[in-house]
Structure 1
Amino acid sequence: MTNRMDQPRKLDLVGNPVLVGGIGTGHEATLHYRVGDGHSEVTGHFNAGGGTGEHGQFQVRADVGRLTFRADQILVQVFEKSPKDGSEINVVTVPVLYGPRIVDGYYGYREHKVVKGDTLSGLAKAYYGDASLYKRIQRANPDQISDPDKITPGQVLRIPIGS
């Protein structure tokens, strides 16, 4: 194992700051991070391990509040820079969903277990008071909802909540 990202996990729904954690090692104990969508990003560096092959825990708070993402999905990356040429090596990339793009004032989500008779518009009416906001739920669950007219009993959907 070179570097491992334990938080966030693939397609987690995240807010600001984006919390990044795991175990890693880097040249002179330095690792770097990047959070962005290809258009807007924040970068930085931190120390993990002893710098001579030892691995250590890390946790970083990436403040992305001033960024303007163009997509719901953003990438969280941890990597080291090669001492030979400065290139990025041992890159770990995790795609996540940025909640504030989906719901204004995003602060978390509720889970809803789909039962027979549920519809996205019905869930939107129940949680947001407006059936037309069903796309919020669809956007927060892209790995589960490919067709907004087809949800299945037993699915556990994330319902993003904001102010």
Structure 2
Amino acid sequence: MNIEILQPKPFDLVGNPIMIAGNAVGFEGHLTIRISEGHDEVTAAANAGSLSIRQFQEAVDIPPDAAFTLSRLFVTVTDDSAGGPNPPTVTVPVLYGPKILPGYVGYWEHTVVSGETLSALANRYYEDTSKYPVIQAANQHVVTDPNLIFPGQVLRIPRDF
């Protein structure tokens, strides 16, 4: 089976439910979706057409009792109808907004200008300079050091209610 995950893209900042969509072709077109972070896992299923490339989509609801401890999750789509020891599988890492900011509902995009810092952005968006780790966590794939952001970078600023 060929599986192509179009949504979410690697390191997308996602909410709940997690929307998963793509293209696939397989024997019977039954896909298993797993969302995990190494400590807990949520599963769902989706269908894709057989014998030709077809679209699939599924909204996977993360229950409140999911024991996720990390904000980095892995979305894995597997053609479990293929049989055999190594069924076709694709995995995409994502960042889970509700683990980064309680009450997460989306994000603003902010283009960094010369002289800005994560603390200043936290003050601007949250009125609290100590919340800069929230911004860093939402951009951990591009901001590894909170003291190094660059003009022109587009950062995601998580929003809550």
Using the size of structure 1 for normalisation, the TM-score is: 0.92
Structure 1 unpaired stretches of 5+: none
Pick one of 120, 127, 130 that aligns with 2:128. 130
Deviations, residues 53-87 of structure 1 (Å, cap 9, x unaligned) = 222101101011321311110000111125544x4
- 1-side partners of 2:155 and 2:126: how far apart? 15
Structure 2 unpaired stretches of 5+: none
Q: CA RMSD in A?
A: 1.4
CA contact (8 A) 2:77 2:91 kept: yes
Pick one of 113, 116, 136 that aligns with 2:114. 116
Aligned to 2:29: 29
CA contact (8 A) 2:112 2:155 kept: yes
CA 1:136–1:84 in structure 2 vs 1: closer, same or farther (change >3 Å)?
A: closer
CA contact (8 A) 1:72 1:102 kept: yes
Q: Identical aligned pairs, as a percentage?
A: 46
- 2-side partners of 1:37 and 1:64: how far apart? 12
CA contact (8 A) 1:114 1:156 kept: yes
Asked if 1:80 corresponds to 2:69, the answer is no
Q: How much does 1:88 deviate?
A: 4.8
Alignment of 1:8-157 (within 5 A): 8-50=8-50, 53-66=51-64, 67-81=66-80, 83-85=82-84, 87-157=85-155
Q: How many residues align?
A: 160
- 2-side partners of 1:3 and 1:106: how far apart? 30
For residue 140 of structure 2, what is the amino acid of its counterpart?
Answer: P
Q: How much does 1:140 deviate?
A: 0.5
For residue 47 of structure 1, what is the amino acid of its counterpart?
Answer: N
CA contact (8 A) 2:29 2:79 kept: no
Q: How much does 1:26 deviate?
A: 2.8
For residue 79 of structure 1, what is the amino acid of its counterpart?
Answer: T
